[in-house]
Amino acid sequence: MNKPTKPIDILIIGEGTYPYIQGGVSTWIHQLIEGNPEINFGLIFIGGQKTQYKKQMYDFPLNIVYFEEVFIFEEEKLPKSKSIKQDRSVINQIDEIHNLFRMIHSSKDKLNFLSNLIGKFKLKDFLYSDTSWEYTKNTYFDKYENESFIDYLWTIRNIHIPIWNLFDVINRLPEIKLVHSPSTGYAGFLAGLIKISKNIPYILTEHGIYTKERKIDLMTSDWFTTRTPFVNYSDTKGNLVRDIWNNFFAGLGLFSYFTADKILSLYRKASEVQISYGAPPEKTDVIPNGVDIKKLTPLIEKRKAHHQRICLIGRVVPIKDIKTFLKAMRIVVNKLPDAEGWIVGPTNEDEAYFEECQNLTKTLGLTENVKFMGFQNILDIFDKISVNTLTSISEGMPLTILEGFAAGIPAVTTDVGSCKDLIFGSIDEEDIKIGQAGFICKVADANCLAQAYISLLTDEALWKKQQQSAIKRVSKYYTYEKLISNYKKIYYKALNWQE
Amino acid sequence: MAGIGFELKKILKKESLTSLFIAYSYATILSAGGWVASILSILTVGFINILLYDNSSDIIRFQVSVTHLIALSLIVSGIHQLVFTRFIADKIYIKEEKAIIPNLIGITILNTAISFAFIIIYSLFALKGIDSFYFNIFFIMTFLLLSNIWILNIIAVSIKKYKHTIVAYFISYLLVLIFASVFGKYGLDYLIGSFFVSNIFLFLTLLFLVIKSYFFSKFISFEFTKYYKKYFSLVLAGFFFNLGIWSDEFMFWYSSTGNGIIGKINASIVYDLPLFLAYLTIIPGLAIFFIRLEADFAELYDKYFKGVVNGATLYKLLNYKNNMIDLIRIATKEAIIIQGIFNIIFYLTAPKIINFLNLPLLIVPLFYIDMVAIQLQLIVMINLAFLFYLNKRREAAIVTFIMATLNIILPFISINLGPYFYGYGSAVAMLIASIAGLLFLNKSMMRLEYETFMLQ
C-alpha cells in the first residue's frame, strides 16, 4: 500500500478510467483535480487485470498525493483450489447479507456485520467451500433451474470475487475526509462502503447511467473469457448471465444511491433516470460538463472557409454506430460530390468493427470521401470542418459537442443522452431562447442525418445562425470555470470549509 | 482405455453368439491382462508336459520360477504402469503423438535399468547354487523382457491396438506351448528357454505395433519422468496394486509352508495351486465388468462432462450422475452375481476338478476360501477402475496401500494360526480393501458435482 505524501482531503475512485483510459470521464476527473489545486486528492483506480492497462495517459497534477490500484479480476491472485468444509451456520449469515442489500437500507453496524462475515468467510471459502456450494446450488434451483448451470456459477463467481478485493482496500485505506465516485458499479459500491466505515461524506456523479457497455467491458475481460471459453454472450444464451449482471449492478447502484450524500448527473434527463432507478430525489442535482473556452475560441477566427467537411469524433466502436454515419455520407455525397466525412478517434479498440467499417466504406464507394484519421488533437481539427456529428446509440454528455460549440461548430447528433439539451437548450428559459445549435435525428436514421448535414453545408446563413447559438450556449452554461466552481461549492459544503 | 468401449459396442451390435464371444475374449484379455494369460499357459505347459514326458520335477521347477518371474516383474514394473499410461493418454489428448515413441524408448531404458539392478541383486540371493549357466541367463533375460512387456502391453492398448495385441499374446503363448512340448524332454533349461524365446516374439511384436503407428522425429526422450512427481499417487498405486495381488503368495512361499524348489526360489504347494485355480475363476466377472466400464460407464461419464461444459442444467447433470451411480451399482452387482454363479459351479465341482488334476483333495477347503478372497479382490479391482476413471488418484493409492499391507500382515497371522486359517488372511485383507474402496467411491460420487464445479 502506498503512503500518501500529504493528508488526503478527497478520494476519487474510478473504475476503468483515469489515468489509463482516455475519454469523457477521465478528462472530467483530470479537470476537477487541476481546477482545485488547494485540495489534496487521493485516487483509487479499479481495473479488471493489470495487463489491460499499459501506460498512464495523463500526467498527474501535483495535488494528487496518493494513488492506489485495485485489479478485481486477477486470476493469479485467486487462492489455490482445495476442498473446504465449513460450518452450516454461515449459510444463514450469507442470507442475511443478501437481504441486507435487498432492503437497501444500511447502517454502520450492518456493515460491521458484513466485514465480520467477510473476515470469517474468506474468498477461498466463497470459491471452494461446501457451504458456498450448497448456497449457490439452492439459489440456482430457486431462480434459474432451467438455465445453464456452469454459466450461472461462473457469473455468480465473477460478480462476487471483486468484493473481497474491495474490502481489502478499505482495511488498508489512509485517512480521508470525503469520497467521490464518478460512477456506481464497483467504484460506487466501494465508495459507499468507505462512507459507512469511515463515516465521511460521499458524493456520486454519474456520467452515464452505468450502461450495458460498461458491463460488457468487464465481462469480456481476458480473465473472464479464458476461464469460461464456453460462455458466450450472444442474445440467445447470454440472457441468464446478463440478467444476473444487471440485477447485481442494479443492486450496487441502489447501494450507491442510498449511501451517497449527493447524487449528481450531467443533465436533467439523467437525473430523472436516476430517480426512476431509486435515487432519492432530494439528493439529486445536475452539474453539466464544462469545456475550456479560452483554448478553443481562437479556432473560430482560424477557420478560413466554409469547408465541405463533416467530422465525427469518437472511438470506432459499435456503440458509436459509425456505420450509420457512413450511410448518411453516401446520401450527402450523392448531392455534394466533394463533401468529406472525417472519423477522428482510435480504431484499435474493436479491430473487427473497424474492419467492417472500412469494408462498408469500400462497398458504398466512399473511399475518396471518408477518412479514418485515428486519434488527433481536436485543435487541429475544428478549424477545418463545418459540422460536428455523433451518430451514437448511447451517450451521456459528449464533450466533443461542447468543444465543437466553443470552436464555433454546430452539431448534428442522434437523440441520445443530453444531445437534445445541448442543441436546443434546456437549462432554463434563457437557454432555450438562445436557439438551435444544430439538428437532432432518431438513432440510426441515416436519411435525417444526411439532410441535416446537407442543409448546414449548403445554407451558410443557417449555419452562421446556429454557430452563434452554439457559441452563446457553451460560454454561458458549459464552461470549465463553471464546472469547477460548482464542484468547489459542493466540496466545501461537504467538508464544512469556508470559501 | 477410451476407445475400447466403442470397439466393444461395435462388436456387440452384431448380436450373435460369436460376436458376444469375441467381445468377451477381448474384454478378458485386455482386463485380466498378461498375468492371467501367462499363468494359464504355464499351467497348460505343465499339464501337457506331464502327459507327454512325465518330467514333473522339471516342470514344477519351470512353473515355479516363471511364476516368480511374473510376480516380481509385475511388482517392479508396477511403479511405471499407471503413470506411463497417464502420460500416453495425455499426449494423445493434446495430439502430441510424436512424443510417444521417444518416451517409450525412454521408459524401456529406465525400466530395464531398474529391473536389471533388481534382478541382479535378487539372483545373487535366489539363484545361489544353481550351476546351469543357461538357466541363470534365461532367468535374468526373461525377467527384463516380462518387465518391459507389461509396459508395452499398456501402451499397445492405450493406442487402441486391441486386436493385434490379443493376437500377439495368443501366438506367443501358443509358441510357449509348442516349444515346451517339443523341447520339454531336454529338461529345465529348454523349458525356460522356450518361454524366453516366445516372449521375445511377443515383445518384438508389441514394439513393432507401437512403433509403426506413430511418426517420431526424436529417438529418445525422458519427458515422462516429470509425471512421477506430478502423479506420485499413481506411482504408489501401480506398485501397491501389484504388490497387493502377490504379497500373500510371498508370505506363504517364504514361511514354514514354503520350500525351496530351485535355488532359493520357493513355492508353497498347499497354497499355490488352489489360489491359481481360484485366480482363473475371476475371468468371467472381470470380463463382464470390463465391458460395463469401458462401454457403458465411459459413455455416461462423457455425457456428464459434455453436459457440464455445454451448459446443461444442474438437474440434468444430477440425472447423469445418478445414471453413473446406477451403473456402478449394476456393474458391481453383475460382477458379484456372475462370479457367484461360477463360484457355485466351482464349489460343487471342485472335488472333481481337483481329482481330475491329480491334486490332493486336502486343498479343496482352501480352494473354497480362495474363491471368496478372489471374488473380493475382483470388487477391489472394480472399485479401483472406477476411482481411476473419476481421477481419484489419491484415494486409489490409499486403497492399494491398504490391500498391500493387509495382504502381508493378515496372511502372516493366518500362517501362524495354522493350516485351518490359510486363505482367510488374504480374504479379510481384500474384504477390508474393498470396503475402503466402496466408501471412497461413494464419497467421490456424492461429491462429484461439488468437485467438478468448485474445485476444477
Residue B15: per-residue pLDDT: 61
Q: Looking at B15-79, which runs of residues are DSSP E strands? A: none
Do residues A293 and A474 make contact, with C-beta atoms less than 8 angstroms apart? yes
Interface with B, mutate which of A126, A145, A148 (most B CBs under 10 A): A148
- Searching chain A, which residue's CA lies closest to the CA of residue B305? A150
Closest CA relative to residue A310, chosen from A449, A403, A436: A449
Number of neighbours of residue A89 by Cβ within 10 angstroms? 8
Global pTM value: 0.74
The HSE-up count of residue A31 (CA atoms within 13 Å, CB side) is 24
What distance in Å separates the CA atoms of residue A392 and residue A320, rounded to the nearest whole number?
4
Interface with A, mutate which of B304, B305, B313, B394 (most A CBs under 10 A): B313
Do residues A185 and A249 make contact, with C-beta atoms less than 8 angstroms apart? yes
**Residues B408, B334, B276, B36, CA torsion sign:** negative
Residue B35: per-residue pLDDT: 65
Residue A43 is inside which H or E element, if any? strand A41-47
Residue A313 is inside which H or E element, if any? strand A309-313
What distance in Å separates the CA atoms of residue A83 and residue A87, rounded to the nearest whole number?
14
Give the three-class secondary structure for A124: helix
**What are A42's strand-pairing partners?**
A11, A66
Hey, are the CB atoms on A127 and B312 less than 8 Å from each other?
A: no
Neighboring chain A residues of B446 at a CB cutoff of 8 Å: none
Cell numbers describing residue A89: 451456520
Neighboring chain B residues of A81 at a CB cutoff of 8 Å: 454-456
Asked whether the predicted pLDDT for residue B159 surpasses 80, the reply is no
Chain centroid offset of residue A183 CA = 7
What distance in Å separates the CA atoms of residue A74 and residue A280, rounded to the nearest whole number?
35
Do residues A343 and A312 make contact, with C-beta atoms less than 8 angstroms apart? yes
Locate all alpha helices (DSSP H) within A36-148, ordered by sequence.
89-102, 108-120, 123-128, 130-143
Interface with A, mutate which of B305, B306, B453, B456 (most A CBs under 10 A): B453
- CA trace torsion B396, B398, B404, B405 (10° rounding): -170
Neighboring chain B residues of A141 at a CB cutoff of 8 Å: 314-315
Do residues B286 and B32 make contact, with C-beta atoms less than 8 angstroms apart? yes
**A9 phi and psi angles, rounded to 5 deg:** -90, -55
Cα of A28 to nearest chain B Cα, Å: 42
Number of neighbours of residue A482 by Cβ within 10 angstroms? 17
**Residues B420, B42, B251, B371, CA torsion sign:** negative
Cα of B350 to nearest chain A Cα, Å: 50
What distance in Å separates the CA atoms of residue B205 and residue B172, rounded to the nearest whole number?
9
Neighboring chain A residues of B454 at a CB cutoff of 8 Å: 81, 127-129, 132-133
- Least confident segment among A156-160, B154-158, B323-327: B154-158
Mean pLDDT within A127-141: 90
Hey, are the CB atoms on A149 and B454 less than 8 Å from each other?
A: no
Q: Which residue has the higher pLDDT, A228 or B148?
A: B148
What distance in Å separates the CA atoms of residue A81 and residue A21, rounded to the nearest whole number?
34
Hey, are the CB atoms on A230 and B450 less than 8 Å from each other?
A: no
- DSSP secondary structure code for residue B292 in this structure: I
Hey, are the CB atoms on B455 and A83 less than 8 Å from each other?
A: yes
Cell numbers describing residue B252: 506363504
CB contact set of A456 (below 8 Å; sequence gap of 6+) = A386, A387, A410, A412, A438, A439, A462, A463, A466
Hey, are the CB atoms on B314 and A149 less than 8 Å from each other?
A: yes
Hey, are the CB atoms on A133 and B309 less than 8 Å from each other?
A: no
Residue A224 binned pLDDT confidence (cut-offs 50, 70, 90): very low
Cα of B317 to nearest chain A Cα, Å: 9
Neighboring chain B residues of A140 at a CB cutoff of 8 Å: 314
Determine the Cα angle at A125 with ends A174 and A157, to 5°: 85
- Least confident segment among A258-262, A302-306, B23-27, B52-56: B23-27
Hey, are the CB atoms on A230 and B312 less than 8 Å from each other?
A: no
Hey, are the CB atoms on B314 and A137 less than 8 Å from each other?
A: yes
Hey, are the CB atoms on B309 and A230 less than 8 Å from each other?
A: yes
Locate all alpha helices (DSSP H) within B212-282, ordered by sequence.
226-230, 232-253, 269-280
Q: Is B305 on the interface with A (CB under 8 A)?
A: no
Residue A232 binned pLDDT confidence (cut-offs 50, 70, 90): very low
What distance in Å separates the CA atoms of residue B166 and residue B209, rounded to the nearest whole number?
12
CB contact set of B92 (below 8 Å; sequence gap of 6+) = B100, B158, B159
Residue B54: per-residue pLDDT: 74
Residue B83's alpha-carbon distances to A30, B162, B213, in angstroms, are 60, 20, 21
Write out pLDDT tens, residues B369-379.
Answer: 998 898 899 89
What distance in Å separates the CA atoms of residue A2 and residue A8, rounded to the nearest whole number?
13
Amino acid at A337: P
Estimate the share of chain A in helix, then strand, then coil, as percent rounded to the nearest 5.
55, 15, 35
Q: Is B311 on the interface with A (CB under 8 A)?
A: yes
Hey, are the CB atoms on B454 and A127 less than 8 Å from each other?
A: yes
Mean pLDDT within B28-52: 68
Q: Which of A128, A130, A149 has its CB closest to that of B313?
A: A149
Asked whether the predicted pLDDT for residue A285 surpasses 80, the reply is yes
Closest CA relative to residue B52, chosen from B179, B166, B164, B184: B184
Mean pLDDT within B35-49: 72
Chain centroid offset of residue B171 CA = 19
Cα of B394 to nearest chain A Cα, Å: 14
**A44 phi and psi angles, rounded to 5 deg:** -120, 130
Q: Which residue has the cell 470552436?
A: A407
Asked whether the predicted pLDDT for residue B212 surpasses 50, the reply is yes
Cell numbers describing residue B130: 544353481
Q: Is B317 on the interface with A (CB under 8 A)?
A: yes
Chain centroid offset of residue B97 CA = 26
- Searching chain B, which residue's CA lies closest to the CA of residue A133? B450
Neighboring chain B residues of A137 at a CB cutoff of 8 Å: 314
Cell numbers describing residue A492: 466545501
Hey, are the CB atoms on B454 and A147 less than 8 Å from each other?
A: no
Hey, are the CB atoms on A128 and B454 less than 8 Å from each other?
A: yes
Hey, are the CB atoms on A130 and B313 less than 8 Å from each other?
A: no
Q: Is B314 on the interface with A (CB under 8 A)?
A: yes
Q: Which of B308, B447, B455 has its CB closest to that of A150?
A: B308
Which of A90-104, A358-372, B86-100 ranks highest by mean pLDDT? A358-372
Asked whether the predicted pLDDT for residue A381 surpasses 90, the reply is yes
Mean pLDDT within B80-85: 89
Neighboring chain B residues of A230 at a CB cutoff of 8 Å: 309-311
Cell numbers describing residue B28: 478378458
Mean pLDDT within A127-140: 90
Do residues B237 and B400 make contact, with C-beta atoms less than 8 angstroms apart? yes
Residue A227: per-residue pLDDT: 33
Residue A181 is inside which H or E element, if any? strand A178-181
Cα of A146 to nearest chain B Cα, Å: 6
Hey, are the CB atoms on B455 and A149 less than 8 Å from each other?
A: no
Neighboring chain B residues of A150 at a CB cutoff of 8 Å: 308-309, 311, 453
Residue A357: per-residue pLDDT: 95
Do residues A470 and A21 make contact, with C-beta atoms less than 8 angstroms apart? no
Write out pLDDT tens, residues A468-498.
Answer: 999 999 999 999 999 999 999 999 999 887 6
Amino acid at B347: Y
What distance in Å separates the CA atoms of residue B347 and residue B368, rounded to the nearest whole number?
7
Determine the Cα angle at B30 with ends B179 and B357, to 5°: 50
Residue A392: per-residue pLDDT: 92
Amino acid at A136: T
Residue A107 binned pLDDT confidence (cut-offs 50, 70, 90): low
Asked whether the predicted pLDDT for residue A233 surpasses 60, the reply is no
Mean pLDDT within A177-206: 91
Locate all alpha helices (DSSP H) within A314-350, ordered by sequence.
322-335
Mean pLDDT within B392-399: 94
Q: Which of B310, B313, B455 has its CB closest to that of A128?
A: B455
Q: What is the mean pLDDT of chain A?
A: 86
Do residues B210 and B103 make contact, with C-beta atoms less than 8 angstroms apart? no
Q: Which residue has the cell 486386436?
A: B163
A425: left (phi over 0), alpha (psi -120 to 50) or beta: left
Hey, are the CB atoms on A147 and B313 less than 8 Å from each other?
A: yes
Give the three-class secondary structure for A426: coil
Give the three-class secondary structure for A436: coil
Do residues B205 and B174 make contact, with C-beta atoms less than 8 angstroms apart? no
Residue A331: per-residue pLDDT: 96
Number of neighbours of residue A383 by Cβ within 10 angstroms? 18
- CA trace torsion B205, B210, B214, B220 (10° rounding): -100
Q: Is B453 on the interface with A (CB under 8 A)?
A: yes
What distance in Å separates the CA atoms of residue A202 and residue B247, rounded to the nearest whole number?
74
Cα of B2 to nearest chain A Cα, Å: 24
What is the arrangement of strands in the sheet containing A438-441, beginning at the earlier edge strand? A370-374, A340-344, A309-313, A387-390, A411-414, A438-441
Neighboring chain A residues of B395 at a CB cutoff of 8 Å: none
Q: Give the total residue count for chain A.
A: 499
Q: Is B310 on the interface with A (CB under 8 A)?
A: yes
Neighboring chain B residues of A237 at a CB cutoff of 8 Å: 311
Asked whether the predicted pLDDT for residue A212 surpasses 60, the reply is no
Write out pLDDT tens, residues B268-320.
Answer: 877 887 888 888 777 778 778 877 887 788 889 889 988 988 888 999 999 99
